[in-house]
Amino acid sequence: MTKQLGMEVSFAAAEAVKLAGVDVIAAYPITPQTHIVERLSDYVANGELDAEFIPVESEHSALSVCLGSEAAGARSFTCTSSQGLALMNEIVYIAPAVRLPLVMILVNRSLSGPLSIWNDHSDVMSVRDTGWIQLFVENSQEVFDHVFIAYKIAEDQDVLLPVMLNLDGFTLSHMFEPVQMVDAGVIRQYLPPYSPKYTLHPDKPLTMGAFAGPEVYPEIKKAQDEALKASYPHILKAWDKWGKLSGRYYRPIEELHTGDAETLFLTMGSFGETAAEAVELMRSQGRKVGLLKLRLWRPFPFKELCRAVKGARRLIVLDRAVSYGGPGGPVAAEIRSALYNLGNKPQIYNYIVGLGGRDVDVRDYLQIYETAEQSSEYQIYGARE
């Protein structure tokens, strides 16, 4: 039996982590991710979750603890935002290099300065090239589902890479939304108890993360890149299996009204729902507009993107971070690169929106659509001159 409950999205994330049967949680509080780990600490304290909850002195320590526990064979979880991720940065690079399949929820928030607790994607874009599998979700149900999916992907013995699950801070994390719960039996069928391939143990010593000189370092980095790219079919397989069990199927790029669209919007995260509302309104006005929601950020879905944009004249890429001194936003730069060799590709327009939590509503999407043809250069939309 399944049931639908209304709850704060952060609590839905914590409920999923509990149902995933994690063994170790290491965390340090930072807004807006704190509600997730606070709820998990309650579960551990009251006996609902048989796990070790380790309060640490910093985010750097939180991820370090998870690397140690994961290396010892424990299913591990952590969570952070913004400056917390920045403090973790040294360790963020190590997890994929050592092939440790932990899961981290990144509740996206602006990086300082100026100080802001509100949402944009500057934090995740600072770690896009660290080697993690990176997913974006747009509502509570997707958050709940993707906790299990993330562990399924990470722990696949043909993958063994950490997964970063991105959800928008406040815009999504503190909303109250309905969630279709999943029976524990279904979850156990999908995600059995963790059986690690390699572990640290005194009876069978091994080395993880050893020193590497120039004579082997490039080969190691090449192998790491190949491993991340090779995870792609296993991500698809994990989505497909979850769909067969739950009825909810996910794809690297979610599409809306793309078949005859002359203009496409491309979004990531919770802004996709507002963009979808705007697209439906424009369709009702007879405009040939569609929407692409980029769910899989790493490894990047090059072939799917090329297929999805075929036939479109314009592609409006909405970024929520700035590549300072560069060609606009990091997502648009990636899209331009992905489509470089595509014949008959659409004209790309880049709008940087929602920085520091600035509201972006349906009217903004309509305005962006109207102005896109006037300039091929990027704009920080809504910024007053």
pLDDT for residue 374: 73
Give the span between the Cα atoms of 359 and 81, in whole angstroms: 20
pLDDT for residue 364: 97
Give the span between the Cα atoms of 258 and 326, in whole angstroms: 30
pLDDT band, residue 209 (cuts 50/70/90): confident
pTM of the model: 0.96
Give the span between the Cα atoms of 169 and 34, in whole angstroms: 11
Encoded tokens for 235: 């991500």
Q: Judge if 4-246 and 253-380 fold alike in CATH terms.
A: yes
Query: Residue 1: is its pLDDT beyond 60?
Result: no
Domain ranges of the chain: 4-246, 253-380
pLDDT tens across 127-175, in order? 999 999 999 999 999 999 999 999 999 999 999 999 999 999 999 999 9
pLDDT tens across 263-314, in order? 999 999 999 999 999 999 999 999 999 999 999 999 999 999 999 999 999 9
**Residue 66 C-alpha from the chain's centroid:** 19
User: What are the backbone dihedrals phi and psi of residue 334, each rounded to the nearest 5 degrees, phi first?
Assistant: -65, -40
Answer yes or no: are the C-beta atoms of 19 and 49 closer than 8 Å: no
Give the span between the Cα atoms of 294 and 278, in whole angstroms: 17
Q: At the fourth CATH level, which superfamily is domain 4-246?
A: Thiamin diphosphate (ThDP)-binding fold, Pyr/PP domains (3.40.50.970)
Query: Residue 383: is its pLDDT beyond 70?
Result: no
Spell out the residues 6+ positions from residue 195 whose beta carbon is closer than 8 angstroms to its own.
none
Query: Residue 377: is its pLDDT beyond 80?
Result: no
pLDDT tens across 58-90, in order? 999 999 999 999 999 999 999 999 999 999 999
Picking from 120-124, 197-201, 294-298, which range would have the lowest pLDDT averaged per residue? 197-201
Q: May I ask the CATH architecture of the domain 253-380?
A: 3-Layer(aba) Sandwich (3.40)
Strands in 163-168's sheet, in edge-to-edge order, are 52-55, 24-27, 76-80, 103-108, 163-168, 133-136, 296-298
Query: Who wins on pLDDT, 7 or 380?
Result: 7
pLDDT for residue 385: 52
Query: Residue 236: is its pLDDT beyond 60?
Result: yes
Answer yes or no: are the C-beta atoms of 122 and 110 closer than 8 Å: yes
